[in-house]
Amino acid sequence: MNQELILLIKICFSLCMAGCRKIQFGLESAHDKVLHSINKNITFKQVENATKLAHDIGFDINISVIIAHAEDTKETIEYTLEKSRLLKEKYNANMQFSINIPYPGTDLYENAVEYGIEVLTDNYDFYSTDNAIINTKYLTANDLRYYYNSVLGIGKSV
């Protein structure tokens, strides 16, 4: 057993012993290439292992996912949705989805052009994680709305 897993087990058991019954993991994407591109420093397998452990201990699990990363493609989003269904079905995880938004002051906002992001409005009233306001180099805002709405069609949780 590696040190990382041992530490995760200790943390999860400590949380449980302290009375914690809910836990949230920020997956963001199930595609390792996308995770690397956003400097997440995790892999999907690590999140799946943590989810399994939390499930086995008895935690209620929330996992957040963001679509519309600069390196997302139709294929990476579909892969993420597939893996999200797996986490829901296998570990009863509540999957929470949002659309990536380049909020002012963030790296994504400040470097949108470098990331291949086209911000479609400067009206901040439209800046919401359930509203696609960007085109990426691989996806249009309409593509992003389609994927987000497909998740909602499954009942807000995959």
Condensed to tens digits (0 to 9), the pLDDT of residues 110-129 reads 999 999 999 999 999 999 99
pLDDT attached to residue 55:
96
Which whole number is the average pLDDT over 9-23?
90
8 A C-beta contact, residue 78 and residue 42: no
Q: pLDDT band at 9, cuts 50/70/90? A: confident
**Residue 80 CB contacts under 8 Å (≥ 6 apart), including other chains:** 29, 30, 31, 34, 65, 67
* Predicted confidence (pLDDT) per residue in 20-32, tens digit: 999 999 999 999 9
pTM metric for this prediction = 0.90
Per-residue model confidence (pLDDT) at position 1: 64
Confidence bin at 16 (pLDDT 50/70/90): confident
Can you tell me the distance from the alpha carbon of 117 to that of 107, in angstroms, rounded to the nearest whole number? Answer: 12
How much of the chain, in percent, has pLDDT values that exceed 90? Answer: 85
Residue 12 confidence class, pLDDT cut points 50, 70, 90? confident
